[in-house]
Each structure stands twice: as structure tokens, then as C-alpha cells.
Amino acid sequence: MKMEKFLKSVFLFLLFSMVFYVSLLCLLGDNVLKKANLNFVYKVGSYGHMNTRLKEINDYENIDVLFLGSSHSYRGFDTRIFEKSNISSFNLGSSSQTPIQTEYLLNKYLDKLNPKVIVYEVYAGTFCFDGVESSVDLIANSKNDFETIKMAAKQNNITVYNTLLFGFYKQLLNSNDDFKEPIVKKEDTYIKGGFVQRKMEELNDTKSFPKTNKWQFNEKQFLAFQEILKLIKSKNIKLLLVQSPITSKLYNSYTNNNVFDVRINKFGNYYNFNKLMNLDDKKYFYDYDHLNQKGVELYNKEIIKVVQKNIVNYTNH
Amino acid sequence: MLFDSINFIFFLVIIFILYWFVTNKKLRNQNLLLHIASYFFYSCWDWRFLFLLVFSTFLDYFTGIKMYESKSEKAKKIWFWISISVNLGFLGVFKYFNFFASSFADALSNVGFSINTWSINIILPVGISFYTFHGLSYVIDIYKNRIQPERNFVDYSVFVSFFPLLVAGPIERATHLLPQIKKERVFNYTMAVDGLRQILWGIFKKIVIADNCAELANLIFNDSSNFSGSTLLIGALFFTFQIYCDFSGYSDIALGTARLFGIDLLRNFAFPYFSRDIAEFWRRWHISLSTWFRDYLYIPLGGSKGGLWMKIRNTIIIFLVSGFWHGANWTFIAWGTLNALYFMPLLLLNKNRNNIEIVAKGKSLPSAKDFFSIIMTFGLTVFAWIFFRSNTMAQAFEIISEIFSKSLFSIPQFEMHYSRRSIITASLLIFFITIEWIGREKEYALAGFGLNWSRPLRWTFYAFLIFIIGLFMNTIETPFIYFQF
């Protein structure tokens, strides 16, 4: 009898707490919590134009190339350059996108886009991040569904859960439907197809990096990465793993780049353009991580060669 | 498996169901379940050390019986010393070997001899200091004829390795826990609800207060040479709350969990930062360890019976051993010594038992005198924690000299992100201290908090705590500090 009372009380309290938690979160989400920057980050139209990209994706299907990855992808693969070479493409990169989010995006959009080739930008950093930043970006800017819940569960982070709860609430109210993201934000311009072009500038090289940095890999990301490979293989899509160039100064500050190369190389066709291209830091980058437009053009020429080879192979196949 | 992880919640729910719904017909089965669950819980850290735990448990179980059955005093003594030396031997090798080896080499090099020392890469088995002390108290109690040995290995093993207390205490006594293990347990609604309440408060203390303080304290202590006196003082304050909320939070979760199984564990903390002098602080801080040292070291050494010098000697020994118990580093010994020095004036003036009752009992606010005493005692404690937290003695002195310099009056320097975090953490600390103050007359802060409110109001408060946990918990997982001891 006492046990029955205990279990009933616990059940009722949990129910009450859940309702209380969600209500308070929804009530305070738009003003207090957003400003306080706690375990809650909900920003529609955030850095990287993800909102526009995900709205635009509905116009695309049966493309030649799909680009995936972090900002190195959406700032590194200019869809216009590929178009000139008669390659239709879409850039589905997003800020700090880790394999957990890549898996989510593929589960959601792969069938519709149906690409011949996937160019997946595998920056070592994305295998080290927890992926929270990218998850909350996707939650705030995409339509949340069961796939989003799966992604949040994989992430297993309170910030992601809080943001997702609020995301569902906003979706229920349709309150983001009228949101229109500006195409130009400060130095960034969104280009049709998902690329974000930075106003041309050269690197102001003032920083120094200790030559003792080490990538601290997050094994959870490697597990998600393997799931991605399985999915792509099951759809019979050609996959190219590439690492976009970053400044040699930053790249060489990491002592275990080779460890990463060896691990990734096992998974398929992998091209590390930090080793394949020799780009001048000052001339071809606008910051230590990202190519400027001149750099993008040079880099994309190289990528096109690789992609064309693979599309030909695909067609013959 | 950390207490504040999702895995532990699943584990706890499963064991709770099995305990009260499957094995509840027979005490023997309940104890067997606790035994298996505890070993599983321990092996989640490192299954290899489970063998050490089993060996240590069996050794004390076996020597306990042998001592009791010994026909002569000499045989009894032999079994006693076998147990003591093996237990302390394990502790010595796993915890102190490298410290002694390097200290010995340093000492020789100071007098002109250079030797090649070798250190071994030893992983400290989690909880070794705690379960060793469990075993030692049991063996000593049998030797002193205070208790009879336990004949049932499973029951004895539950006493040593009951999962809520296994890795960081409280350090139990056979006289307190074993009778509870031997006695049939009936589900008690009030006790179970109280357990859940204590778990909630423990989780709040750990993942909201301690982990947020830890992020800032680590930032400051890990780069102490680059911070001003004022920032270093803030770092020391954050660490002061980190260590209290980390350890007492853990103890609250342990005690609350045990209550769900109908078992009462020893209280480990009693609002130590509201103490009016250091003697009171030590009666309220890590109580199960302090009383262990009192009963098994201080009193056997003669306690306070042999005159003033004996009292002083024994007090110094206790504090030094207490410091050393925390780890093989001079900083812990300095921390112990400092506390001994704080204690001395009270001992000499015979004022060490002046403040027995909790401060301002039955009142809302303390008197001006009490308030001043609390602040003074707190200040001394913060000063001692600087040694405890520093990696080396040199770092501790560097921090102290910076704190006592002009830079103490400079504006603390933080990056924007951390200055926001420190303001948020300071606000949470104010909330926390207020609740602790209101609840200070009970066993833990939430024990009596709002009990006379209507149920909806009380539940709203608990749900609000959960909301705060969800929004403010630090997402960087910080292991409990006392796991390393």
C-alpha cells in the first residue's frame, strides 16, 4: 500500500515537473532565456544562412553533387563554379557541422536530392566537437520531426534538449513561418545553392599558434561517421572525403594530423588538400580557417577534376 | 557510472524494482542483489580493480573470524597485523609509492647524491581509501572486542561495498551499518520520499553549484600566474564552494539512494561553512572521516588524556594524517598542518567545544558576533583550500603572495564569456546559501524545507529546482573530486 502510494506520488510528481518545465521554458524562451544564454540557444537565421539554405533545398532534386560539412564546406564549395562546369550541386554545409548533424541531414534530405556524388568535407575539428552548436542551429532553422529527436538523443546534451522543446513549441505556433533571412549579412552573401561568399579580403596574419596543438577526437563522432558511410553505401552513391585547406600556420600547429589522415583514409577516397595544394596563407585566406574567394576558385578547380572523374565513373557504372 | 548520469538513474530504477518487487520476500536475496549490484557498479569504472576489492573484502572477513576464534592473544595479534599491513600496504602502493620514491630521491639529491628513481604508472583504484577504511574499522573493532565478526560473506561484503557509499563514502562503521543489513527491511514511504528529496538537493549541489564553480576555479588555478590578486581570490572562493558542493552533493545522493533501500548511512556534512570556529568546522566537515580518525587514531594515541602536550601532539598527528589521506602531495600535508595550526589556540584555551549547536538555532539571523565568527572561520578555510587546490607548494605561495598584494584591489579580469558565467554562478551561490541557511537545523537543507506548505506549492518548488538544474547545470562533466582520494 505504501509502495503503491510512493509510486503514484513519484509518477504524478514527474508528470507535474515535466509540465512545469516545458511551460516555463516556453513562457521564458523568447525573452529571458534567449538573452541569458544559458543551456538554451534558439536563434532563427543564425550565422551561416542555414535558414535560407534549408528553405531553398525544397527546389532541388536529382543533383550531381551534394556538399556536406562545416563552414569549410559552405564557404569552400562555390556552387556557381560547379555550375559553369555543368555540374549541378547543392551545398548542405552548416556551422560546426559534425558527423551527428551530417547523419541527420542525410536522413532527411538524401532521398530527395538523390546526388550522384557526395563531397564530404571532413575537417578534423568536427570530429572533436560535441556538436551542440550545430544541433541547436539546425533545430532553430529546420522543421523538427522524429529525425531531430534522434539527433538530440545522440547528442544527449541538455542545451540541445531545451532548444528542441522550445523548437517544437514554436513549430506548433507556426511562429517562424514568416521569417525571411537577409541574403547579405555584414561581409557574407548567400549564393543560390548554399554557398556563402565572403567579401574579398586577405588574411591579417597577427596570431601565433603553439606547435603543440592536438586534436582530441570524440569517438561518438566516429560512430556517427560510420553510420553515414553505411547509409551512403546503401544508396549506391559515390563518396569523396576531402579536407579543405586551412592556413598552413594553423594546420601545422597540430601535431597529430597524420593520425587523423590514417583513420579517415581507411573509410574510402580521401583527399587532404592541406597536403595536395600549397596555398599562400595571406593571399588565399580571409581568416586562419577559411579560404577567400580567390582561394575558393583555385580549390574548386581541383575539386572539379576529382568530381568529374567520379561522375564519369558513376555514369559508366 | 557517475551518480549524476543517466546511466545511474536507469541502474537505480532497475535495482529498486528488483529489490522491492522481486527479492523482497527474503532478506538473503535482497542482500545478494545489493552485493551483485554493488560489484557491477564498481566494475563500471574498471573491472580489473574489482579483484582488489574482492580480495580486500575477503581478507578482512577472514581475518575477522580468525581473530575472534584465536585461542591466544598472540595469534589474535598476528591475524590483526596481517590484515592491517596488507590493507595499508595496498593503500601505500597504489596511492603513495611514487610520492615516496620521488621525495626520497629529492632528499638524497639535496645532500649531493644523485640516484635514478623509477616511478610506476599506477592507476589509483577508485574508492580504495574509503573501502580500506571500512575494512580497517571492522578489523580494529573485532580486535578490541567491540563487535563479533560477521559470518555471512554476502552481508559483510554489502557492508564494505554497498554501492551508494563504495567510491566516496561516507565511511561506515560495522556497528552502524551491519545491524541494518542483517535486519529485515520494510518499505518506508516517508524514508523513501526523504531519500528522493536528498538526491534532488545533492544533484543540484553537484551539477549546478559545484560544476559551475569548477569551471571558473579551474580556469583561474590552471593559469594562476596570469591573474591578479582579486581574480585569484575569486578563484579560491569558487573552489571553496566547489569542493563543498561536490563532496556534500555526492554524500547527499549517496544517503538519499541508501534511503530508497531502507538503509540509513552516516551523516557526512552538517553545514560546515556556517561554523563559528575551526573546531566546529571539523565537527561538520567530512564527519565520517573525522570521527574515524578520532576513534581509530586519536583515542588509541592517548587522546586528550595524557596532558596538554599529548593533546597537542595527537591533534597535529590527526591533521597531518588527514591531509596525507587525501593524497600524496605536500600541498595536502600543508593543508592539514594549517588546519592543525588553526585548531591549536582553541585547544590551548580549551575553547574547542564552545560551539556545539548549529548557529542561531531557532532564529532567522545570526548575532553580529556569530556572523563575524562565521566570516573569520570561512576566511581561514578559504586560505587553507588554496593549498589543497594548488598543484605544488610553489603555486600556492605564488597565489597567496599575489592575493596579499596591491592587485587584490584591482578589478577582476575575465574574458567576456567567463565574466558572464561568474556573475551567473555568484547569483546561484546566493540562492544556494539562502536555502542552506534556512534549512541548517535539519540533516540537509531541503529536509524540512517547505514541509508545512501545501503539496502543490511544495511540488512547484521542487519542480523549480529541476528547472534551474536544466538551465544552469554545467554541461562539462566534472568527476566528483573525492573519487581521486
More confident residue, B169 or B458: B458
Mean pLDDT over the full length of chain A = 91
B19–A contact, CB cutoff 8 A:
no
Place of cell 543560390: A192
Cα distance between residue B278 and residue B340, in whole Å: 9
- pTM metric for this prediction: 0.87
pLDDT band at B115 (very low <50, low <70, confident <90, very high): low
Residues 404-423 (B) with a CB less than 8 A from some CB of A? 420
pLDDT band at A34 (very low <50, low <70, confident <90, very high): confident
Residues of chain B contacting A17 with CB distance shorter than 8 Å? 459, 462-463, 466
Structural domains in chain A (count) = 1
A11–B contact, CB cutoff 8 A:
no
Q: Residue B170, preceding bond cis, omega within 30 degrees? A: yes
- CB under 8 Å to B8, separation ≥6 — which residues? B1, B2
Q: Is residue A159 part of a domain?
A: no
Express as a percent the part of chain B with pLDDT over 70. Answer: 92
Decide: B300 and B271 in contact? Cβ < 8 Å. no
Query: Is B6 close to A156, i.e. CB distance below 8 A?
Result: yes
Least confident segment among A192-206, B75-89, B224-238, B334-348: A192-206
In CATH, what number is assigned to the domain containing residue A228?
Answer: 3.40.50.1110
Q: What angle (nearest 5°) sits at the alpha carbon of residue B207, between those of residues A135 and B225?
A: 95
Of A6, A13, A21, the CB nearest to B467: A21
How many interchain CB pairs under 8 A, A with B? Answer: 55
Q: Is residue A143 part of a domain?
A: no
State phi, psi for B271 to the nearest 5 degrees. 55, 60
Which cell numbers hold the place of B429? 551561490
Of A3, A158, A159, the CB nearest to B20: A3
pLDDT band at B251 (very low <50, low <70, confident <90, very high): very high
Q: Is residue A2 part of a domain?
A: no
Query: Is A39 close to B471, i.e. CB distance below 8 A?
Result: yes
A2–B contact, CB cutoff 8 A:
yes
Query: Is A2 close to B187, i.e. CB distance below 8 A?
Result: yes
More confident residue, A35 or A179: A179
Q: Is residue A242 part of a domain?
A: yes
Cα distance between residue B80 and residue B188, in whole Å: 39
Number of residues assigned to chain A = 317
A38–B contact, CB cutoff 8 A:
yes
Which cell numbers hold the place of B394? 610553489
| For range A111-116, the mean pLDDT | 94
For this complex, say whether ipTM is above 0.95.
Answer: no
Of B6, B462, B475, the CB nearest to A39: B475
Instruction: Say if residue A58 is exposed, middle or buried (CB neighbours under 10 Å; 0-12, 13-18, 19+).
Output: exposed
Give, for B131, the enclosing helix (H) or strand (E). Answer: helix B128-143
Q: Is residue A148 part of a domain?
A: no
More confident residue, B336 or B307: B336
CA B418 from chain centre, in angstroms, equals 29
* Mutation target vs A (from B467, B468, B472, B477; most A CBs, 10 A cutoff): B467
| For range B338-345, the mean pLDDT | 95
Q: Is residue A19 part of a domain?
A: no
Q: Is residue A74 part of a domain?
A: yes
pLDDT tens digits, A81-106: 999 999 999 999 999 999 999 999 99
B472–A contact, CB cutoff 8 A:
yes
- CB under 8 Å to B215, separation ≥6 — which residues? B421, B474, B476, B478
Query: Is B470 close to A162, i.e. CB distance below 8 A?
Result: yes
Of A3, A20, A161, the CB nearest to B187: A3
Query: Is B470 close to A159, i.e. CB distance below 8 A?
Result: no
A310–B contact, CB cutoff 8 A:
no
A179–B contact, CB cutoff 8 A:
no
Query: Is residue B479 over pLDDT 80?
Result: no
pLDDT of residue B327: 79
Q: How many CB atoms lie within 10 A of CB A144?
A: 19
pLDDT tens digits, B151-190: 999 999 999 999 999 888 799 999 999 999 999 999 999 9
Query: Is A16 close to B187, i.e. CB distance below 8 A?
Result: no
B10–A contact, CB cutoff 8 A:
no
pLDDT tens digits, A155-192: 889 999 999 999 999 999 988 888 889 999 989 999 99
Q: Is residue A48 part of a domain?
A: yes
Residue B286 known to be catalytic: no
pLDDT of residue A317: 47
pLDDT tens digits, B2-58: 777 888 999 999 999 999 999 988 999 999 999 999 999 999 988 888 999 999 999
Cα distance between residue B464 and residue B471, in whole Å: 11
Measure the N-to-C terminal CA separation of chain B; round to a whole number of Å. 17
Query: Is A9 close to B464, i.e. CB distance below 8 A?
Result: no
B464–A contact, CB cutoff 8 A:
yes
Chain A nearest CA to B192, separation (Å): 8
pLDDT of residue A127: 94
Cα distance between residue B471 and residue A27, in whole Å: 14
Of B6, B196, B463, the CB nearest to A21: B463
More confident residue, B244 or B324: B244
Residue A241's domain comprises 41-134+175-316
Query: Is A17 close to B463, i.e. CB distance below 8 A?
Result: yes
Decide: B70 and B79 in contact? Cβ < 8 Å. yes
